[in-house]
Amino acid sequence: MTSIADPIKRSQRYQNLLSDLSSGDKTILLDGPISTELDARGVTMSSGRGRRAPIDDQEALIQVHMDYINAGARIITTHTFGGNRDKLGQDFENLTRGAVECTLEARRRTGTDDRVIIAGSIAYHTAQGPGKYDPKQDPKSWENDINDLVKLLKSSGVDVMLLEMVGGPTFTVPIIRAVQASRMPFWVGFSAAYAHNGTGLRVYDNPGTPVEDALPDLIRISIEGEYGAFKNDGDSGVDIIGAMHCKPSALGRVLEAIKTHGWDGPMLAYPDDVQGWDPSISKVVTGNDPVDVYCDHCLGWRSDFPKCTLLGACCGFSVRHIAALNQRLGV
């Protein structure tokens, strides 16, 4: 049985990555969006095929991962964003294990087993509707689902847990608690957006909460544990904190807030270009941020925040954006 006193499980290839990141001299690339890449290749989310790709369209999913590796990404994420037992039902275990296997297979086929890191994607999204629970009203069911996901990702062979779209404490604290109990290394990606009423930057899953109010406690819990178990001499497992799924206009401010509120380690920048959701076609509506503009944003964050050594992208961007950034960086 795993105990919080157990050492964090960091593979050698993962330790090599941390060494490169900590030097501050190298810039490491994550991958980009998976669902929108699959959608562009005919494995559509609106038809349900995109979510079921780890079972029904494995070759398409493997190819997306391989394309990112060949574009220069050293970290590829599992196609488990927002996946949990509540959303996926009886297929939860097969889809989760299948998603990890697709990343492992992409790494094998590209001959990068000793270099490419597999990040297990965890996000707060749940399906709500007839027969579904609301995590805000039923936090215990939410925590059980998260514990199941973390255990599956760990046993399936990921190198690190990637906490995406982190916002307010309702969803976030149970996720941090689960990954710390697993004794796996983890990264935290805070998400925020400007309020429509012009009152400033608000965390993603709780639009009434300013970033400056949410981040201090969540950063502290990530580093020290919820009740300070790792405060003095322990290892909580958190290695990287950054900004994910933020518009480029907001991302720099989120990085600044992370730096201000207690994080002094490596950071990541992972913007998106989502403009909204079209319910008529069940599809994310994205902008068309030119490759050069995306690269300029990334190089700006790299310059403004010397510890922001990890760069990637999400919805609204693509394999070609990662490839272009790789070329601009000369990685």
Average pLDDT rounded to a whole number, residues 198-220: 81
Tally of structural domains, the chain: 1
Within a domain: 1? no
Burial zone of 58 (CB within 10 Å; 0-12 exposed, 13-18 middle, 19+ buried):
middle
Within a domain: 7? no
Picking from 111-115, 182-186, 265-269, 276-280, which range would have the lowest pLDDT averaged per residue?
276-280
Amino acid at residue number 330: G
- Cα angle, residue 27 at apex, residues 25 and 33 outer, rounded to 5°: 170
| CA end-to-end span of the chain | 41
Query: Model confidence over 46-66: pLDDT tens digits?
Result: 656 667 778 788 999 999 999
Within a domain: 58? yes
Within a domain: 6? no
Q: Where are the beta strands (DSSP E) in 219-273?
A: 238-246, 267-271
Residue 180, domain extent: 12-329
Minimal CA–CA distance to 257: which of 188, 309, 178?
188
Instruction: List residues bridging with 268 in a β-sheet.
Output: 310
Contact 245, 204 (CB under 8 A): yes
Residues 6+ apart with CB under 8 A from 278: 284, 285
Cα–Cα separations (whole angstroms), residue 78 to 19, 112, 221, 254: 23, 16, 25, 24
The more confidently predicted of residues 125 and 39 is 39
Name the band, by pLDDT with cuts 50, 70 and 90, for residue 281: very low
Minimal CA–CA distance to 69: which of 35, 101, 109?
109
Share of the chain above pLDDT 90, in %: 55
For residue 160, give the 3-state DSSP assignment.
Answer: strand
Secondary structure string (H, E, C) spanning 70-133: HHCCCEEECCCCCCCHHHHHHHHHHHHHHHHHHHHHHHHHCCCCCCCEEEEEEECCCCCCCCCC
Token code pair at residue 14: 């993962």
Query: Model confidence over 112-128: pLDDT tens digits?
Result: 999 999 999 998 655 44
Average pLDDT rounded to a whole number, residues 168-185: 89
Residue 279 has pLDDT above 80, yes or no: no
DSSP string, 168-201: SHHHHHHHHHHHHHHT--EEEEE-EEE-TTS--E
Within a domain: 258? yes
Q: What is the pLDDT of residue 131?
A: 45
Instruction: List residues bridging with 267 in a β-sheet.
Output: 308
Within a domain: 325? yes
Q: Which residues of 255-282 are buried (b: 16+ CB within 10 A; e: fewer)?
A: bebbeebbbeebbbbbbbbbeeeeeeee
Average pLDDT rounded to a whole number, residues 154-181: 90
CATH classification at residue 281: 3.20.20.330
Q: What is the pLDDT of residue 129?
A: 39
Picking from 112-116, 173-177, 275-279, 313-317, which range would have the lowest pLDDT averaged per residue?
275-279
Within a domain: 314? yes
Within a domain: 173? yes
Token code pair at residue 166: 């982190």
Q: What is the pLDDT of residue 188?
A: 96
Name the band, by pLDDT with cuts 50, 70 and 90, for residue 180: very high
Query: Model confidence over 161-170: pLDDT tens digits?
Result: 999 988 777 7
Phi, psi of 119 (to 5 degrees): -105, 125
Minimal CA–CA distance to 122: which of 153, 76, 90, 167?
153
Measured in residues, the chain has a length of 331
